[in-house]
Amino acid sequence: MTGTIDVDAARLALQGVSDADASDARIVNAYASAVWSTLVEPGDGVAGALVGAFGAAGALDWALSETGRPRVGGVDLTALDLTGADLDAARRRWRPRWGAVGRALDAARRARVRLVIPDDADWPRGLDDLGPHAPLCLWVRGTALPRQQSAVAIVGARAATPYGAHVATEIAAECARAGIVVLSGAAYGIDAAAHRAALHVGGSTVAVLAGGVDRPYPAGHDDLITQIATEGTVVSEVPCGGAPTKWRFLSRNRLIAALAGATVVVEAAHRSGALNTAHHAASLGRPLGAVPGPVTSAASAGCHRLLRETDAVCVTRGAEVRELLGDIADAHRPADGGADQVRTDDRTRVLDALSARRARTVLEVAQRCGMAPEDVAGHLGLLQLDEVVEHRDGGWRRRQTSTPARLW
C-alpha cells in the first residue's frame, strides 16, 4: 500500500460494504477511514487530531509515508497540539497493522456489514462531541443508527439481581413503546434485559460491541445479538474480525454515552463498568439517571454513589426517562403539514442542537443545526414561550423537570 489511494481499487475493495457508486472523493474518504479503523485502537487521540485537521485520506498519506512529512495539504503538522514524540510514537504503534484493511473488508462483506463514515447522512452527530477521540468510522449490522435525542442508554451490572433485571425490563419496555431507542452493550445482566424488553414490545434497540460486529460477544448472546441485528442495529468502531479486549470495553462505553441523549444506570456495584459509562455521559453534558435499590444491596452501591455525589437524577420508570430526554418524543412528533410542518422541522433542528445540561450561545446552536443565527434566535424565543427551553448562564438549554446537584 502507498500513501496515495487508487480510486478504482478502493471502489472495488468497498463493494458490498459501502456505496460503490459514490463520488471519487467519498470513496477515497471511506476507504481511508476503513484503513484507519484497522490501524488504531479506539479513541486514539493522535489519529483523531490528524484526521480532524487533514481528513482521513490526507492524514493517512502522512501516516504511510516513510519519512513523516512535516506538512500535509500545505498545513504544518506542528500547528497541531502534538509533539514530535507523540507523532513518532503513533507511527510506531500503527505500523504493525499496515495491510489489515483487506481482511476487515472481506469479513464485513461475508457478514453483510456496512461501513458508515462521518460524512454520511446517517452518521450519529452525537459522536462528534467526543472530539479527537470520536470513532473514525462505524461498522454496522442492521437497520438505522439512532438520533441522539431519541435514544437512551440503559446500562448496569452483569451480575444483575432479579430486582435489577425486572426494573431494567420495565423501563426499557416503557421507553421502547414510546418510540425511544434503547441502547446498551449486549452484556449479561442489565444490558440483556434492556435489549430483550425493547425487542419484546416491538421497539428499536442498538447494541454497541467492543469487538467486531461479526463476532457476537459474549458467545452466550449469539442469538440475542443476531436478533438485534435483524430487528435493530449492532454497531462497533472495531473492524470486523476484531476481538473484544478490556481496553476496548472501556472505550466502547464512551460510544454508548455519546450515541444516547441520556444514560440510565440500573444496577452497579461501587466499582463497575457502568459507572465508567456514567462518567462519559457526565463529561459530555448528557443527562444522567440512576435507579435506587435496597440500601443493603451491594449491586446498587454504585447507583447510590451516583445519586449522592453527582447530578444523577433518580429514575424509577420510563416516563422519567422521557423527562431526562426533555420529552423529546413530543417535540419530534410530526405536525399535520403545510407551514406548521416547516415550523416543527426547524424547531426539531434547534432542539437537537441544545443540551439539557450545558448552556449554548445562539451562534453555537446555529453552527450545530445549520441555520442562520437570526432564525435560531427566533425559534428559541418561541420555544421559550412554550417553556421548552430556558436562557441561563449566558446561553440556551432545554428545560429540565428537576434541578439536580452538582456533577462529579
b/e for 281-304, b at 16 or more Cβ within 10 A? bbebbbbbbbbebeeebebbbbbb
pLDDT digits (tens, 9 = 90+) for 9-51: 999 999 999 987 889 999 999 999 999 999 998 989 889 988 9
User: 406 lies in a domain?
Assistant: no
CA distance 351 to 379: 9
Helix-helix angle 101-110:24-39, to 10 degrees:
100
Find out whether 351 and 326 touch, Cβ atoms under 8 Å: yes
| Residues 151 and 282 occupy one common structural domain | yes
DSSP for residue 66: S
Q: Write phi, then psi, for 206 (nearest 5 degrees).
A: -130, 130
Helix-helix angle 338-352:362-369, to 10 degrees:
110
User: 118 lies in a domain?
Assistant: no
This prediction has a pTM of 0.78
| Residues 176 and 286 occupy one common structural domain | yes
Q: Three-state secondary structure along 119-185?
A: CCCCCCHHHHHHHHHCCCCEEEEECCCCCHHHEEEEECCCCCCHHHHHHHHHHHHHHHHCCCEEEEC
DSSP for residue 220: G
User: 252 lies in a domain?
Assistant: yes
CA distance 265 to 310: 13
Q: How many CB atoms lie within 10 A of CB 394?
A: 8
The domain of 320 spans: 143-324
b/e for 174-198, b at 16 or more Cβ within 10 A? bbbebebbbbbbbbebbbbbbbbbb
Which of the listed residues 284, 302, 324 is the one where a domain comes to its end? 324
C-alpha cell at 342: 416547516
| Residues 214 and 277 occupy one common structural domain | yes
pLDDT at position 267 is 95
- Stretches where the chain sits below pLDDT 50 are 1-3, 327-344, 401-408
CATH number of the domain to which 306 belongs: 3.40.50.450
pLDDT at position 338 is 36
| Residues 226 and 311 occupy one common structural domain | yes
Look-up: residue for cell 500513501?
A: 3
Domain count, the chain: 3
CA distance 328 to 338: 22
Q: Write phi, then psi, for 229 (nearest 5 degrees).
A: -65, -30
* Separation of CA 190 from chain center: 19
Q: Write phi, then psi, for 169 (nearest 5 degrees).
A: -65, -45
| Residues 285 and 156 occupy one common structural domain | yes
User: 104 lies in a domain?
Assistant: yes
Which of the listed residues 278, 303, 324 is the one where a domain comes to its end? 324
User: 125 lies in a domain?
Assistant: no
| Residues 177 and 287 occupy one common structural domain | yes
| Residues 182 and 277 occupy one common structural domain | yes
136 to 45, 107, 130, 186, 249: CA distances (angstroms): 11, 19, 11, 22, 17
Q: Which stretch of DSSP H or E encloses residue 362?
A: helix 362-369
| Residues 340 and 290 occupy one common structural domain | no
C-alpha cell at 352: 437537537
User: 116 lies in a domain?
Assistant: no
| Residues 303 and 345 occupy one common structural domain | no
Helix-helix angle 373-385:362-369, to 10 degrees:
110
Q: How many CB atoms lie within 10 A of CB 71?
A: 12
C-alpha cell at 370: 445549520
| Residues 12 and 41 occupy one common structural domain | yes
* Among candidate residues 356, 403, 330, 336, the one with its CA nearest the CA of residue 150: 330
Find out whether 124 and 259 touch, Cβ atoms under 8 Å: yes
| Residues 210 and 270 occupy one common structural domain | yes
CATH number of the domain to which 353 belongs: 1.10.10.10
